[in-house]
Chain A
Amino acid sequence: MRVVLAEDLYLLREGLKQLLSAHGFSVVAAVDNGPDLLRALLDERPDVAVVDVRLPPTQTDEGLQAALAARRELPGLPVLVLSQHVERLYARELLADGTGGVGYLLKDRVFNAEQFVDAVRRVAAGGTAMDPDVIAKLFARSDQKVGRLTPREREVLELMAEGRSNGAIGQRLFLSESAVGKHTASIFGKLGLAASDDDNRRVLAVLAFLDGR
């Protein structure tokens, strides 16, 4: 699987390169600034891009902007954004086009190589990978509708919002897949959303619901 990597810290860039290579990815370009990233994305058209939000030359959200610009050119280009901090604002911008294939994780998540690589694969496959921190912030806002969920349903909703499939959720919570299916149906019912099998649409629905009040 071909990866374009953008990270301005040399050590972290090399580390990520090794980590991804070790898991069978081929890093076709590793850049350290926004303009180079955009060029690499448009030239290489990788299977997935792993991008730091803050990049030179402005040291602002150059990486995010380059990724969004590339996705406007190449709709659905899978992008996993890494950051030292997570903002719902950015999560929303990434999800806004509704085509999926996006991820937004804290940089610390690379500590757990398995989970990180799993997230890269999910994004490359057109799924989503939202950081648990983003999800936690979404739930931090007290909401009547979310308040009606049972604790187990909340757990399911959190994992669902991170972008996991029913199977993965079942594994994490030690439930059968059909039990997870029942929970999701009940969650959609309580939140007033039409049920859908599509992983990506489920996250969009959850985010849209939690944002749009």
Chain B
Amino acid sequence: MTRGLGALARGLLRGFYAVASAGLLVVHLVLFVPGLGLGLIFLLPWPIVQLRPVTNLVRRSCGDVPRPYRDRPGPPRPEADGRYRYDRMLYHSPFWPRQVGYLNWVLGDPATWRDVGWMLLNPVVGVVLGAGPAALVIAGLTVAFATGYWIAVGLALIALGVVVAPAALRAHDSWTRRMLGPRDEVGSLKAWLGLRFMTLVRLAALGGLTVVTAGLAVLSAAALALFAVGVVGTIPENAALTRRVTEIRRRLAEQWSGVSIQTPYRPEPPLPPRRPDGLYAVGDNLYKSTGWTRFFQRLEWIWHDPATWRDLLWTVTDPFVGGALVLMSAGAVGYGFLGVALPALLRLTRVDDPPALLVLADRPTLALAAGVVLVVAGALAAPAALRWHGRWTAVLLAPTAKARLSTRVEQLTESRADATSAQAAELRRIERDLHDGAQGRLVAVGLALGAIEALIETDPAAARRLVADARESTARALAELRDLVRGVRPPVLAERGLVEAVRALALDSPVPATVAGGLAGRVPEPVESAVYFAVSEALVNAAKHAAASTVEIAFAHHDGVLTAVVEDDGRGGADPAVGSGLRGMRHRLSAFDGTVRVVSPAGGPTTVTLEVPCALFSPKTSTSSARDSSNS
């Protein structure tokens, strides 16, 4: 009896939650709709996260259901060069990486969508299972006391309520656990539906962004008009704004539609060198101050970049083309459900005055069928629409073949300059070392031999001393030549290849180092050297600056890219802007289109990742034939 009464009370609490979750749903919709419909996608995650404490309260009171949420991503950490990385993009401020990471964290968590599903269903399930028994008891009391005649029925209802209460409560709690608890895997149908839903959400968000693009087109028109009347400052500002928006769309096309679009803009030119008369030339005009020079140069740069005009063309056409694609699928689903099917359904269930978006207003059955067809067709078309949306974005926002080539030429010019100057410096060093070292010592040996020739008869003791000196000199010269060779191309690298050479390096490292992973073949010689010296540098840094106690080096080769990762457990805080070693590493690898990534938060650990695109080739066969013949 007391158990039943307790269950009744707790059931009432569940009923209260059910009412609350209906409220939550309304709050969600209020923020969700503008978030999705107007492209203000950054409005989306906030209410969801703010309302999580409420669902957590429900979890606690329904039998300590564990929380299913993924951990919140940490704040974006700057890379060694001070920029922030998200996916395959570097940002100067942490704002965008944080926003996008936050968005992906919230919307990518299946628990989020289960929360929403719970809010949708709980107003019914929670009220029936939670408050149901209590309602039976109240009904029984009412019948028994108010009418007086049906006491037996009333008592029966009360008894039923009390008896059913624990079972209803159990059912409610297990339902809540299923809805709100962590789940191992999603059923295939559910996953399929979830995917469609995500696709539709993304399309709708793109539709919202189309509105933003239309606004941008209007702004651009205004900027051009102002330019025409002489307000020249508007063009660079407008172009910069447009570029920021199109850059987001390029990223979204890659993340959502799987269409990778490179940034097409030409790099900003450096300030021209001052002429002999102290002026700067931009085009045919001469300017005195750096401020004006920079401004007109920027104008020139933006005005003559074809990508600027393609951006503009895109802002004008995207509201039509992109908008049409969104309307085709997400629009069809929305209109089919809210405009055709729902009013028809309401009419069939005899609700007066349903909203009149209905075309087939007088034939509800046909309208319902048409609505369902629209929803299904729209949902089926959604993935294709999203894909086409990406392709459409690429049509105008991707760099043209010409732009790609000129970017590439610029990169190559830069890396060639790096490579040749590094090479020249290296040759200078070798020349100096030979001149100051081995050459000098051999001259000394020659001198000593001359003296020995003269002394050998007259003063054998002195001659013997000179012989000893000469031998000492040749040994020194050899040691110096050895060091020189090691600095140019370490013998073990030539003999054994990259991985074994690094293993030899690890053996000599003052910090215990381990080498993991291997390569299926030899790396081209120049790349081998560059990566070897870069890894060597990283290892020295770990020992010298990071106060590390262990270092791990790993090699891998995937998709034509050689990767070497050097990770230490030291104190971190490495900054390439300060150390010349890391910059040297970057120069060395840039000649091969290679990259160096340093992640080194203060407090450690430091990870240096080297990536160089290159092919592996099979090692020379005669070594292995020597190995084979030993087995025969």
Are A34 and B482 in contact (CB-based, < 8 A)? Answer: no
Task: Specify the main secondary structure of chain B where it touches its partner.
Answer: helix
Give the residue of B486, B510, B629 whose beta carbon is less than 8 angstroms from that of A35. B629
**B475 closest partner in A (C-beta):** A108
**A53, closest chain B residue (CB):** B495
| A36 vs chain B, min Cβ distance (A) | 11
Known: A89-B500, A89-B503, A211-B507. A60 touches B623 (CB 8 A): yes
- Give Cα A213–Cα B507 distance, bound, in whole angstroms: 11
CB of B622 within 8 A of CB of A58, answer yes
Query: How far is it, in angstroms, between the C-alpha of A87 and the C-alpha of B485 when the chains are bound?
Result: 14
Give the chain B neighbours of A144 by CB distance below 8 A.
Answer: none
Instruction: Give the residues from 68 to 91 in chain A that come closer than 8 angstroms, CB to CB, to chain B.
Output: 69-70, 72-73, 83-85, 87-90
CB closest residue in chain B, given A91: B507
Cβ contact within 8 Å between A54 and B495 = yes
Chain B residues whose C-beta falls within 8 Å of the C-beta of A69 in the assembled complex: 626-627, 629-630
Which of A38, A57, A108 is within 8 Å of B478, CB to CB? A108
Mark contacts of A129-150 with chain B using CB atoms, 8 A cut-off: 1 yes-contact digit, 0 otherwise. 0000000010011100000000
- Determine if B622 and A85 form an interchain contact, defined as CB atoms under 8 angstroms apart: no
The answer to whether A10 has its CB under 8 Å from any CB of chain B is no
Which chain B residues border A141 with CB–CB below 8 Å?
508-510
Contact in complex: A88, B622 (CB < 8 Å): no
Mostly helix, strand, loop or mixed at chain A's interface?
helix
Task: Indicate if B520 sits at the interface (CB-CB under 8 A).
Answer: no
B623 touches A85 (CB 8 A): no
Q: What is the chain A residue whose CB lies nearest that of B474?
A: A111
CB distance from B490 to the nearest CB of A (A): 8
Given the complex of chains A and B, what is the CA–CA distance between A49 and B507 in angstroms?
27
A60 engages B494 (CB within 8 Å):
yes
Question: In the bound complex, do residue B622 and residue A142 qualify as a contact, i.e. CB atoms below 8 Å apart?
Answer: no
- Asked if A158 lies at the interface with its beta carbon under 8 angstroms from chain B, I say no
* CB closest residue in chain B, given A61: B495
In whole angstroms, how far apart are the Cα atoms of A72 and B495 in the complex? 21
Q: Which residue of A has the minimal Cβ distance to B630?
A: A69
Indicate if the CB atoms of B630 and A88 lie closer than 8 Å: no
Which chain A residues numbered 4 to 36 have a C-beta less than 8 Å away from chain B? 34-35
Residues of B within 8 A of A73 (CB): 630
Q: Which residues of B contact A87 (CB under 8 A)?
A: 491-492, 504
Does A65 have its Cβ within 8 Å of any Cβ on chain B? yes
CB B223 to nearest CB in A, in angstroms, measures 65
Q: Which residue of A lies closest to B496 (CB)?
A: A61
Query: Of residues 491 to 544 in B, which have CB atoms within 8 Å of A's CB atoms?
Result: 491-492, 494-496, 500, 503-504, 507-510, 512
Confirm or deny: B429 has a beta carbon within 8 angstroms of a beta carbon on chain A.
no
Residue from A58, A70, A211 within 8 A of B623 (CB atoms): A58
Q: Does A162 contact B (CB under 8 A)?
A: no
Q: A158-194, CB under 8 A of B: which get 1 and which 0?
A: 0000000000000000000000000000000000000
Asked if residues B485 and A89 are in contact (CB atoms below 8 Å), the reply is: no
Nearest-Cβ distance from residue B467 to partner chain A, whole angstroms = 11
Is B471 an interface residue, CB under 8 A from the partner?
A: yes
- The answer to whether A89 and B626 have CB atoms under 8 Å apart is no
Is B244 an interface residue when CB atoms closer than 8 A count as contact?
Answer: no
Contact A38 B475 (CB under 8 A): no
Give the residue of B479, B495, B504, B629 whose beta carbon is less than 8 angstroms from that of A88. B504
Residue B620 CB within 8 A of the other chain: yes
The complex places the Cα of A84 from the Cα of B492 at a distance, in Å, of 11
Residues A60 and B496 in contact in the complex (CB < 8 Å), given A34-B622, A88-B508, A89-B504: yes
Chain B residues with Cβ below 8 Å from A58 are 620, 622-623
Do B510 and A142 have beta carbons less than 8 Å apart?
A: yes
Decide: A62 and B630 in contact? CB cutoff 8 A.
no
CA distance A84 to B625 in the complex (A): 25
A12 to nearest B CB, angstroms? 13
Q: Mark B445-473, 1 if CB is under 8 A from A, else 0.
A: 00000000000000000000000000100
> Which A residues touch B474, using CB under 8 A?
108, 111
**A94 within 8 Å of B (CB atoms):** no
B510: chain A residues at CB < 8 Å are: 140-142
10 further A-B pairs in the complex, CB-CB below 8 A; given A58-B620, A62-B623, A87-B492: A60-B623, A65-B626, A66-B626, A84-B491, A89-B496, A89-B500, A108-B474, A111-B471, A111-B474, A111-B475
Binding site for B on A (CB under 8 A): 34-35, 38, 53-54, 57-62, 65-66, 69-70, 72-73, 83-85, 87-90, 92, 107-108, 111-112, 137, 140-142, 211, 213
- Give 6 pairs: A residue, B residue, CB < 8 Å, sorted on A: A38-B629, A38-B630, A59-B494, A60-B623, A65-B623, A89-B507
Q: Which 10 A-B pairs have the closest CB atoms?
A: A69-B630, A89-B504, A61-B495, A60-B495, A88-B507, A85-B491, A87-B492, A58-B620, A58-B622, A108-B478
